[in-house]
Amino acid sequence: MIFSGQRVYESWLYSLFNVFYASLPIIIYALGDREYADDSLLKYPFLYQPGILCKGFNKKRFGLWCLNAMCQSVIIGIFA
């Protein structure tokens, strides 16, 4: 039996696997994830207040998340 150095799968198939089995389910879940129903938001517009006032995510919280990510990457880099 003769063997060749030819790949069985093309490299683009590996990328396609990552798209379909890793990112696509997360994207589908994120598109369907809703905290409130659409008619509730139309009936009670005060539910938009926290987003307008930046209570859920602001520059300070963003900076803390970035600092957290840097600390974790340093720890992983040291021990890996």
Distance of alpha carbon 35 from alpha carbon 47, whole angstroms: 10
**What are the C-alpha distances in Å from 65 to residues 28, 39, 57, 59, 70?**
25, 33, 10, 10, 9
pLDDT digits (tens, 9 = 90+) for 38-58: 899 899 989 888 888 888 888
| 38: three-class secondary structure by DSSP | helix
Residue with tokens 């696997």: 17
Closest CA to 51 of 63, 67, 35, 39: 35
Q: Which residues of the chain have pLDDT under 70?
A: 1-5, 8-9
pTM score over 0.85: no
